[in-house]
Structure 1
């Protein structure tokens, strides 16, 4: 009977020991798992911090647009390959346009008259940076200061000077001329030179390019 009690006691003790070891093992495993998780979290935080630091360094190293533009070498200016004759032709052309208006054709003829070669003249005309419409307008205004013109007569005169039809038309459209008054001045000029009948004077003004209405206005303004 005593033996049986001892066996029972030993069994109980053994079960308690086994149960205690299990608890210890679980606690150990739990502790180990928690420690591993903490280590992983710490490693992840360090990795994230390192990544942010790396990004900051990369951004700091990247040059700004202004710095990039400043670092780029300045574009080289094209070499001046003009000959001495071409440079002198250009200088002559610039001098002419300072004192009088010219068409491109008129300027070309003037430079050739001075003895420049066709290549030198062409270089000057291409590089003078002139507004030929404005040159035509200046020429038209100069003509109207010294003599009366009809619109048609002024157009023909400008084209004779070498202006294109488009340049001449630009001048006609922008010279602010009163063509009726131009017809009146022309009629007075004719009558100061010789006698005209009214019809003869009207016909003469029409021949000069005035419209019939402008011619009749001019003759009436002249005293007829």
Structure 2
């Protein structure tokens, strides 16, 4: 294997503090099933942000043997924390209105681990007050609600008191 081919197949593990790299065998040297599993996993990860469990399920649906699927995930050395972070960011982008607590619960529902969900929620750049405002708007559209009841409702949705108070204040200003 020449140096160009080696660098093409080097994958950073992301776990070391230095720039150490692990050399992976070229796809051409793998058996057909392993290469297919790797390519299919890459295709899914290019379009979706999936937990390890979800990705293994998707590969199973594609009739990829579980051993080949596991090999593909090891070969790709996927950073599941980053996949969880990207999924969390995607959820918040859709203007659904997630508190940190609800977002973490959603990620756990999506089969990310507790650690991955915690990482995601603490490493995304989200304005939680804006997220609370989205939920506040829904409560206000449902009928007449006092500022205090709105704050309580937002806190019950998992927002902090500060987030709930600011969102409530902004929402009432916008409704006038």
Q: Could you say which structure has the larger radius of gyration?
A: 1
Give the superposed CA RMSD. 2.3
Unpaired segments of 5 or more residues in structure 1? 1-76
Of 151, 170, 189 in structure 1, the residue corresponding to residue 138 of structure 2 is 189
Aligned to 2:160: 211
Residue 157 (structure 1) shift: 1.0
CA distance in 1, matches of 2:33, 2:157: 43
Q: Which residue, out of 116, 125, 140, partners 1:176? A: 125
Alignment of 1:70-85 (within 5 A): 82-85=30-33
Aligned residue for 2:71?
A: 123
Q: What is the TM-score of this pair, normalised by structure 1?
A: 0.59
Instruction: Give TM-score, length-normalised by structure 2.
Output: 0.73
- Please state how far the C-alpha of 1:95 moved relative to its aligned partner: 0.6
Q: Residues 160 and 196 of structure 1: is their aligned pair in 2 closer, same or farther, counting only changes over 3 Å?
A: farther
Give the length in aligned residue pairs: 147
- Give 1:207 shift: 2.4
Alignment of 1:91 onto 2:39 = yes
2:53 to 95, 101, 105: 105
The equivalent of 1:13 in structure 2 is none
Greater helix fraction, Structure 1 or Structure 2: 1
State the alpha-carbon separation in 2 of the partners of residues 78 and 140 from structure 1: 33
Contact persistence 2:139–2:145 (CA under 8 A)? no
Name which structure has the greater RCO, CA cutoff 8 Å, separation 6+.
Answer: 2
User: What are the superposed Cα offsets for residues 101-136 of structure 1, whole Å, 9 maximum, x if unpaired?
Assistant: 122122111111222222122112211222111111
**3-state secondary structure, aligned to 2:121:** helix
What's 2:13 paired with?
none
Aligned partner of 1:166 in structure 2 is 115
Residue 187 of structure 1, CA deviation: 0.4
Q: Which runs of 5+ in 2 are unaligned?
A: 1-23
Q: Specify which of 133, 144, 148 is matched with residue 81 of structure 2.
A: 133
Q: What is the CA deviation profile of residues 34-57 of structure 1, one whole-angstrom value per residue up to 9, with x for unaligned ones?
A: xxxxxxxxxxxxxxxxxxxxxxxx
Counterparts of 1:137-152 in structure 2, within 5 Å, are 137-146=85-94, 147-152=96-101
Equivalent in the alignment of 2:9:
none
